[in-house]
Amino acid sequence: MSRLLPALLLALCACHSPRVEPPPFAAKTAVLGRTEIIDPELGTLGLSFLAEGQSLEDQQALCAIEPVADKLVELNLARTRVGARTLERVRALARLERLDLSFAALPPGSLAALAGHPALGELLLVGLELSPQDLAALSSLPALRQVFLHQARFDAAALPRLDAVAVLIDAPVAAPLETEAAFTLASDKASALNTMCPLTGAPIDAAVVVDFEGRRIGFCCTNCRDKFLADPASYRSKLP
């Protein structure tokens, strides 16, 4: 009996000890998204989902955003399947300065959820179909300074006047997507022709590639890719 007593006491302690729950979202954020330090001194971060792409939906995006919400200044949701729930959460990210929604599976009218965001200065809407309500939402963003509308489909007459905002359009907005521009954001697994980023000279990220004039070009980060998309001619001499 004396030998059994310690074991019984341990069993009783285990049964009555409070259960320690894992931090919310911990399991999912361990495998979803890629974070990048934007400013070490300010502790600001960027979050992207290049690996998840079209498999990423609202619940997964929200789980990944929540633990870093107060630090996010850049968010890349390109090619994802997020919807209104995620965009409503994005509107509450008070420090967010840059948002990439390029080729996301958003229905027309979705951008109304971002109306009034206080800090959003750069918005990438490449390849989206935009309604008049979407375009009107742009004028409600007080910090907006640059919007990318490459390959976007919208009524140019409905585009509001945006003072002090650079609206980047590289082709007629009514043209079919496959003929609008000389480049597309690549989605298959073929390798880039280059190993070093044409903008910085750093090694490329295999997930950040663009098909340009029949060549697959890789970049070290989404920032370099977006700078290239904004003005490909400036970097033509550096391409392989």
Which CATH number is 47's domain given? 3.80.10.10
**Region 9-15 average pLDDT:** 43
Q: Which of 136, 153, 174 is the last residue of a domain?
A: 174
Calculate the alpha carbon distances from 226 to 25, 116, 229 in Å.
Answer: 30, 24, 5
| Same domain? 161 vs 199 | no
Which residue, chain included where needed, has tokens 């259960």?
Answer: 19
Phi-psi region at 124: left, alpha or beta (left = phi > 0; alpha = psi -120 to 50): beta
* Residue range of the domain that includes 126: 23-174
State the average pLDDT over residues 74-79. 92
Residue 12 falls inside a structural domain:
no
The single-letter DSSP state of residue 203 is B
Domain boundary among 124, 151, 174: 174
Q: How many domains does the chain have?
A: 2
Among the three residues 149, 174, 199, which one is the final residue of a domain in this structure? 174
Tokens of 105: 């599976």
Q: Are residues 191 and 81 part of one domain?
A: no
CA torsion through residues 168, 170, 174, 180, sign: negative
How many other β-carbons are positioned within 10 Å of the β-carbon of residue 231?
A: 11
Give the H/E segment covering residue 16: helix 4-16
* pLDDT confidence band for 52 (50 / 70 / 90): low
Q: What is the pLDDT of residues 114-157, one digit of tens each?
A: 999 999 999 999 999 999 999 999 999 999 999 988 888 888 88
Residue with tokens 């361990």: 30
Is residue 203 one of the residues assigned to a domain? yes
State whether the Cα torsion 34-38-40-42 is positive or negative: negative
Is 91 among the domain residues?
Answer: yes
pLDDT value of position 34: 81
Distance CA 49, CA 32 (A): 7
pLDDT-derived band at 210, boundaries 50, 70, 90 = confident
38-42, 49-53, 117-121, range with the lowest pLDDT: 49-53
CA 212 – CA 217 distance, rounded (Å): 7
168 exposure class (CB count in 10 Å sphere: 0-12, 13-18, 19+): middle
Place of tokens 């958003």: 106
Q: Phi and psi for 190 in degrees, rounded to 5?
A: -60, 145
**Strand-strand pairing, 34-39 and 146-148:** unpaired
Query: Does any domain span residue 155?
Result: yes
pTM for this entry: 0.62
8 assigned to some structural domain: no
